A and B are shown apart, each in its own frame.
Chain A
């Protein structure tokens, strides 16, 4: 009896486990050059969104998402200089996140011209202006459920 109760109480906590990684942006984000250290935070309840939170200042954060989840054809052309800077030796080394602008519970856009590219192995990151930026929007609407579900 007691052990069953313990399991019921613990399960929600396990689901809410927050995964967190250090991300270093030596150049900052465009317009936020002075903020260089971030945490990439994944809360299961908010998947597939994640938070790029300024380290030491939890009240400053950006919502990010992997653009390939809703745009499988997205092909960001990362300039060779950025590939070198990030120390990427294969595409699998790179985690690509688009910054989300949340305009309300039913409207959000993503920036596909300037994704944040993170080296999965080192946490070194940069907001990359992709070489084929002209093909993409800084305000690509996210396909959201428009009814209050």
Chain B
């Protein structure tokens, strides 16, 4: 892992197009500003951990009784294209 020291107001540039700036340091909290092209997704790391945990909880190893939904029934969503996906 590359480790750099930065002061408040200083930046890092990644790949010439992603700017990461230390906006402010308040005690243990570091405020970071990120400028990236719109096609570059930027998320807190926790989002990935949250989804991973959710997937692990959702994994079904045997047949389960599924809840009944008020909207249940073989209702087709409107405008579904011909393919059955």
Which residues of A pack against B, CB within 8 Å?
19, 21, 23, 29-32, 40, 42, 44, 46-49, 59-63, 66, 68-70, 79-82, 92, 95, 99-102, 104-108, 111, 113-114, 118, 120-121, 123, 127, 129, 131, 133, 138-139, 142-145, 149
The A-contacting residues of B in range 22-68, CB under 8 angstroms, are: 38-41, 43, 47-48, 50-62, 64-68
Residues of B with C-beta under 8 A to A62: 55, 58-60
Checking A70, A102, A129 against B51 with a beta-carbon cut-off of 8 angstroms, the contacting residue is A129
Counting chain B residues whose Cβ lies within 8 A of the other chain, the interface size class is 35 or more
Checking B41, B55, B61 against A79 with a beta-carbon cut-off of 8 angstroms, the contacting residue is B41
Question: Does the CB pair A80–B39 fall under 8 Å?
Answer: yes
Residues of B with C-beta under 8 A to A42: 84
Question: Does the CB pair B51–A144 fall under 8 Å?
Answer: no
Q: Which 8 A-B pairs have the closest CB atoms?
A: A31-B52, A114-B51, A144-B67, A80-B39, A120-B85, A101-B58, A30-B52, A138-B54
